[in-house]
Amino acid sequence: MDVLRCQGLRKVFGDQVVLDGLDLTVAEHQVVALIGASGSGKSTLLRCVNLLEELHDGTIELDGEEISAPGVDPDKVRRRIGMVFQSYNLFPHLSVLDNITLAPRRVHGRSRREAETRARELLDRVGLGAKADAYPDRLSGGQQQRVAIVRALANSPRLLLLDEVTSALDPELVGEVLTMIRDLKADGMTMVLATHEMGFARDVADQVCFLDAGRVVESGPPQQVLADPTHPRTRQFLARIIEAGRL
């Protein structure tokens, strides 16, 4: 069963076409990695799926229901989709625990007790139980990003969108976040992640999509797309990455 189906997505900023008839399908329990040059539209795609950006054409379906249809309440859709950002975006005025329980309590109407019990469970699982009462500015980047992922998970989303969640991190902190994402995959979470970490894409993704000029020009299993690309643009992109020593 497909969790996400995007068809003919189009997004324009001024006279710049960022998404140009993009198609993408994500099956349940699948992990899809979006790769592509800077500015190719990876973040824009994720923001469109989460209805944070207005769409200019095309349709998006979540669990077979069109969420891009007029009259759909975007707030209700976003409850079912988790999103994690490159810059963590934790709320600095709230403790780790309050960051995580905010949406369960205010959006899903859980009691404080219930929400906090679950939040502590999730934090313990990723080894951050001791940080529940700390404020975000007292955490390392890797810890903040793991809290941000836990915050998205606390809503029990159907789909998790991860936008370059490791690119703001020091190299030695990347590992702890990647481990967490691997564990999520093992738990069967459906994920779409934009990344510049080709090694990680190869490791964790079931499918790699190469974006160029607002379209998916090549997609397939990582061994094929990353090791033996067919499209000239993909080859060019990967050659540059290898040159830079990042694969």
Partner 1 sequence: MSTIPYVPSPAQRAREEYRRRQTVLSVLIAAASTAAVGTLLAFAVTGAPGWDRVRQSFLDPQIARDALPRVLAGLWLNVRLLVCCAVAALLLGLLIAILRTLRGPVFFPIRALATSYTYTFRGLPLIIVIYVLALGTPGLRLQGMPSVLVLGGAALVLTYSGYLAEVFRAGIESVHPSQLAAARSLGLTYRQTMRHVVLPQAVRRVAPPLLNDIVAMQKDVGLVALAGPIDAVRAAQIATAQTFNFTPYIVAGVLFVLLAIPLIAITDQVTLRAARRQSGG
Ligand X SMILES: Nc1ncnc2c1ncn2[C@@H]1O[C@H](COP(=O)(O)OP(=O)(O)OP(=O)(O)O)[C@@H](O)[C@H]1O
CA dist., res. 215 & res. 157, Å (int): 26
Binding partner of 75, given Mg ion, partner 1, ligand X, none, CB within 5-8 angstroms per partner class = partner 1
Tell me if 38 contacts ligand X by CB under 6 A.
yes
Please give the radius of gyration of the chain, using alpha carbons only, rounded to the nearest integer.
Answer: 18
Tell me if 105 contacts ligand X by CB under 6 A.
no
Shortest Cβ distance from residue 100 to ligand X (Å)? 26
CA dist., res. 32 & res. 205, Å (int): 5
Tell me if 44 contacts Mg ion by CB under 5 A.
no
Which of 52, 109, 59 lies closest to 77 in space, CA to CA?
52
Tell me if 199 contacts ligand X by CB under 6 A.
no
Shortest Cβ distance from residue 63 to partner 1 (Å)? 16
Contacts of 148 (CB under 8 A, 6+ apart): 84, 85, 88, 89, 90, 165
Shortest Cβ distance from residue 233 to partner 1 (Å)? 30
Nearer to partner 1, 85 or 210 (CB): 85
Looking at 59, 89, 95, 224, which residue binds partner 1 (CB under 8 A)? 89
CA 101 to each of CA 77, 107, 130, 144, 242: distance values in angstroms, whole numbers, following the listed order: 19, 10, 16, 15, 42
Site for partner 1 in 91-150 (CB under 8 A): 91-93, 102-103, 106-108, 137
Q: Which stretch binds ligand X (CB under 6 A): 35-43, 75-83, 93-101, 226-234?
A: 35-43
Looking at 40, 43, 195, 219, which residue binds Mg ion (CB under 5 A)? 43
Which of 101, 78, 195 lies closest to 147 in space, CA to CA?
101
Residue 134 has what DSSP assignment? S
Which of 148, 214, 187, 196 lies closest to 31 in space, CA to CA?
187
Q: What is the largest CA-CA distance in the chain?
A: 55
Nearer to ligand X, 134 or 247 (CB): 247
Q: Which stretch binds partner 1 (CB under 8 A): 80-88, 126-134, 198-206, 222-230?
A: 80-88
**Other beta carbons less than 10 A from residue 232's beta carbon:** 10
Shortest Cβ distance from residue 99 to partner 1 (Å)? 9
H helices present in the chain, as ranges: 42-49, 74-78, 96-106, 112-125, 141-153, 171-186, 198-204, 222, 232-243
Nearer to ligand X, 38 or 93 (CB): 38
Query: Residues interacting with ligand X, by CB under 6 A?
Result: 13, 18, 36, 38-44, 164, 194
Query: Residues interacting with partner 1, by CB under 8 A?
Result: 47, 50, 52, 75-76, 78-79, 81-83, 85, 87, 89-93, 102-103, 106-108, 137, 151-152, 155
